[in-house]
Each structure stands twice: as C-alpha cells, then as structure tokens.
Amino acid sequence: MSRYQACFQALRARRERAFIPFFVIGDPDYKTSLKAVKAALEAGADMLELGIGFSDPIADGPSIQAADLRALEAGMTVDRCFEFIEEVRGFSDVPMGLLVYYNLLLRRGVDRFCRQAAKAGLDGILAADVPIEEAGPVIEGCKSSGIDPIFMVTPTTTEERMRKILAHADGFLYLVALLGVTGARGDLHPEALRLIRRVRSRTDLPLCVGFGISRPEHVRALSRAGADGAIVGSAIVNLIARNLHNGTKMPEAVRRYVRTMKKQTLPARR
C-alpha cells in the first residue's frame, strides 16, 4: 500500500479530509524553507505538495513565480531539492508530491529523475505542463520507480480526456478549482464544487482541489461537496513573503495558518 493510499484510508476512517500545503523548495533559502515545512507538519498538515523553482512557471501566478525566483536566487537546484526531500523524509512519513515542469525532467532524463525522486522519498509527481496525450514517458518513469503519476482535471476537461487521465492516474486527482493561474482568491468559484461532483461519479480516486483555495470557508465548502483534500499554495507562499526578514515569526505564521485550515477538515461536531 502506498503512502497516499494509507493516508487517505486513515483519514476516511476518521471522517477527515486532507489539508495539503504547497511550498516551493528552498524559498527563501534552504534552512528557512525547512523550518516552514516543519511548522506545517507540526500544525497537522496531512501531506505535502512541493515545487522546484523554475524560470518559466506557466501555470503559476505572481506569488509562486516570486517564490520560484527567490529559491533560484538562493542557489536551489534539482539535486538540492532532492536533498531537501530526503531530509524531510528523515523526520516525517507523510506523503509528498512534487509539482514540476517537464523541462526539468527532460533535461535530466525522465527515468533518472523519477529514480532519484523515489530514492529521496517522494510519493508522486505531477508534471504541470504535460497533457495526458504526451504523458507516456512520465507515466512509465513514475510507475517503474514506484511513484504515483498525478494528473490535473480542470473544469474544461472533456469526457474523452478524463477517461484517458483516469486510465493512468494514481495517488489522487488534482482538481483545478478555476480557470487561470495559481493565486489566493477571496471567493471559492462555484465551478469547483460542480467539478467535484462530476469527477466523483467517475472514479474512486481521492479528489484534492487546488488553485485559489485560501480561506477556512473554502475548505469547509470543499469538504461538504465531497473533496478528499484541499491544496493551498499561494496563501502560504504569501505568508513566507511577508516574513522574509523574520526567521522566527515566519514559521509561527505558517504554523497558525495551517492549524486553522486543518481544523476545517475535521468532522463537524453535533
């Protein structure tokens, strides 16, 4: 049983949903980034979604673009990111997924990248800019290394494409809550709730929703609609950005935020 399967199974037994924070590895530097991740785990994060800094992150908005640049300027490389994942794995057994752009896999070699990711302790890879029709090398590389290939489903995904995705996806499905790039939003788009219902009727895979999720009420609404988890990136990255020069305050800000959001995934008390 994979870490994803075990984690979602345990959460369902407790009638909980997963809270999944996203971090750009090495933002704003290696040590501070590690402190932020530790703070999130101590506050109850069920899983981690991690990103490798990239110069042209086409799926990301200004917040994560800025985080990518900070990580790159701090000297983060793919090898350093694998070291980071290995270090996190040394003190936590939570599932860890990697959101990455295909150029980073292609440059290293997809099979080699996946083998190194698995050795570091990674559980899933989502290549954000690879459509299912061209995902063969990623699927093969992941599965041969024991890593789950994660795929996105958006409000505009056709039935035909969804069938192709469901034939290969594992771990969980990443549901995109809205059209456009990542970024904290004030309101939860109604399309996100419709997408959950639409996909749930077609698969038993866990459904985790990201893009624009930032507030406790967003997580509550997703949970009520049947999502298995909420992925929050830009709101956390913004906390880091606001506390770049305060290494003590930043982890505590992350800890408080994650604790507040995680509470929304617990079963309602009667």
Tens place of pLDDT per residue across the chain (270 aa) = 899 999 999 999 999 999 999 999 999 999 999 999 999 999 999 999 999 998 876 666 788 899 999 999 999 999 999 999 999 999 999 999 999 999 999 999 999 999 999 999 999 999 999 999 999 999 999 999 999 999 999 999 999 999 999 999 999 999 997 654 444 445 576 788 899 999 999 999 999 999 889 899 999 999 999 999 999 988 999 999 999 887 789 999 999 999 999 999 998 754
Distances (CA, A) of 114 to 5, 106, 119, 135, 225: 20, 11, 9, 14, 34
Residue 22 pLDDT: 97
Assigned fold of 3-263: TIM Barrel (3.20.20)
Annotated catalytic residue within 27, 49, 148, 228:
49
Residue 61 pLDDT: 73
User: Measured in whole angstroms, how far is the alpha carbon of residue 115 from the centre of its chain?
Assistant: 20
Residue 174, H or E segment: strand 173-176
Helix, strand, coil: what percent of the chain each, to 5? 50, 15, 35
Contact 118, 146 (CB under 8 A): yes
Pick the closest to residue 240 from 27, 20, 21, 81 (CA basis): 27
Domain boundaries, given as residue ranges, for the chain: 3-263
169-178 burial code (b ≥16 CB/10 A, e <16): bbbbbbbbbb
Residue 183 pLDDT: 41
- Asked if 228 is an active-site residue, the reply is no
- Asked if 60 is an active-site residue, the reply is yes
Contacts of 100 (CB under 8 A, 6+ apart): 51, 52, 54, 125, 126, 127, 128
Annotated catalytic residue within 16, 60, 148, 228:
60
**CA–CA gap between residue 34 and residue 266 (Å, rounded):** 26
